[in-house]
Amino acid sequence: MFVVMTEGATEAEILGVKSQILAEGLTPFDHATNGHIQIALCGEIGNRRTELLQRFSGLPGVASVTQITRPFKLTSREFHPEDTVIRVLDAAIGDGSLTMMAGPCSVESRDQLLETADAVAAAGATVLRGGAFKPRTSPYAFQGLGIQGLRYLAEARERTGLPVITEVMESNQVDIVAEYADILQIGTRNMQNYSLLRDCGRVARPVMLKRGYGATVEEWLMAAEYIVSSGNPNVILCERGIRTFETYTRNTMDLAAVPLLAQLTHLPVIVDPSHATGKRWLVKPLAIGGVAVGADGVMVEVHPNPDEALSDSEQQLDLEMFRDLMAAVVPVHEHVRELYHPTVVV
């Protein structure tokens, strides 16, 4: 539930509500909306609901107390109606613009990364991706360049001006990855790694949370809730396909999740047709599909020579294919943006 303060509530009244919340063993989170402050009561409320509702309604400066019907609270539209917009360097994610995250699956060498970075930047990418720590199904497969990969990513950012996103796989990597990268990525295999989620909630970097390949939308939002309730409001969700009985594609891209999330949460949503399909020729149509259903952006894997890539070779686009994809998705985004982000006429 959350407390809605009156428009003219004083600082002392706001602090009064927060200290009562703390005294209940709960955590207060505030959010300013439409000229007033709302304070969520997060924690195990149990059978105290009616009692708390009555008591908080009577406190000075309180206009009303509202229930949040969803199990995810801070990430819900009920508590936070307006879209979250994440700003990182010159990029804004979730503001109605089209975010295009592109780059290799893995950072393999300085030359490979810089060549890709220059090409995707010139083609209109807004964020550079590249894995330095790689979660591989086989322990014998290429595991990434680690810290050296992070250094190359930082160099590519200096050169192109693009913010960089890279995966963090373990809690003990969070600080070093946050030192080099602008956005931390949590991969599908780690979506319910709660200690990692909490640790990413404590850093001053946006986090892109990929959907667990076997996770429901609600489980995914509960995972996002771990990050936000640990102190980091800047979470991006990424639909990267879920596992179904289909075998012609690597995963099944859940396009319906995109408008569904827009209804349930204020967090921006990115689609990743590379991991969702596993096939290079399917990436463009699914990128178009994702943008058409209202995604805030697309993440795609791009490599100068995909056939020689050390990971995910079958799904990476070459540089020309990425230019072609950009030429296809930009007009689709222009066409549909008014549907999802109507211009407000004042």
Residues that bind Mn ion (CB under 5 A): 105, 312
Nearest-CA neighbor of 294 among 251, 250, 342, 249? 342
Q: How many CA atoms lie within 13 A of 126 on its CB side?
A: 20
Residue-wise over 6-31: b if at least 16 C-beta within 10 A, else e?
eeebeeebbebbbebbeebebebbeb
- Residue nearest Mn ion (C-beta atom): 105
CA 211, CA 251: separation in Å to the nearest integer?
Answer: 12
Question: Which residues 273-292 are close enough to bind ligand PEP by CB under 6 A?
Answer: 275
Q: How many residues bind ligand PEP (CB under 6 A)?
A: 8
Contact status: 187 vs ligand PEP (CB under 6 A): yes
Nearer to ligand PEP, 187 or 201 (CB): 187
Q: What's the closest the beta carbon of residue 257 comes to Mn ion, in angstroms?
A: 20
- Taking residues 256 to 275 in sequence order and writing x for each that binds ligand PEP by CB under 6 A, - otherwise, the string is -------------------x
Q: Which residue is nearest to ligand PEP (CB)?
A: 187
Angle at 76 between CA 335 and CA 46, to 5 degrees: 165
What does 296 bind: ligand PEP, Mn ion, none (CB cut-off 5 to 8 Å by kind)?
Answer: none
**Torsion sign over Cα 260, 316, 189, 235:** negative
Residues in the chain: 346
Instruction: Please select the residue that binds ligand PEP; options are 73, 157, 205, 240, rule is CB under 6 A.
Output: 240
Q: Which does 240 bind (CB under 5 to 8 A by kind): ligand PEP, Mn ion, none?
A: ligand PEP
User: Quick one: 139 exposed, middle or buried, by C-beta within 10 A (0-12, 13-18, 19+)?
Assistant: exposed
| Residue number with CB closer to ligand PEP (178 or 238) | 238
Phi, psi angles (nearest 5°) of residue 83: -60, 140
Closest CB to ligand PEP among residues 205, 210? 210
Closer of 52 and 165 to ligand PEP (Cβ): 165
Which of the choices Mn ion, ligand PEP, none does residue 135 contact, using the CB cut-off of 5 to 8 A by kind?
ligand PEP
Does position 210 interact with ligand PEP (CB under 6 A)? The reply is yes
In angstroms, give the least distance from the CB of 283 to Mn ion.
12
Based on CB atoms, which residue is closest to ligand PEP, 96 or 135?
135
User: Shortest gap between Cβ of 215 and ligand PEP (angstroms)?
Assistant: 11
CB of 134 to Mn ion, least distance (A): 8
Per-residue interface string for the shown chain with ligand PEP, residues 308-327, x marking contact by CB under 6 A: --------------------
Distance of CA 155 to the CA centre of its chain: 24
Whole-number Å distance between alpha carbons of 235 and 214: 20
Let me know: does 239 contact 290? Beta carbons within 8 Å: yes
- Strands 207-210 vs 62-66: parallel, antiparallel or unpaired: unpaired
188 binds ligand PEP (CB under 6 A): yes
Q: Which of residues 99-158 bind ligand PEP (CB under 6 A)?
A: 105, 131, 135
Nearer to ligand PEP, 105 or 197 (CB): 105
- Nearer CB in complex with ligand PEP: 123/271: 271
Q: Is 280 helix (H, G, I), strand (E, B) or coil?
A: helix
Binding of residue 17 to ligand PEP (CB under 6 A): no
- Burial pattern 160-196, b for ≥16 Cβ within 10 A else e, equals bebbbbbbbbeeebbeebbebbbbbbbbbebbbbeeb
What is the binding site for ligand PEP (CB under 6 A)? 105, 131, 135, 187-188, 210, 240, 275
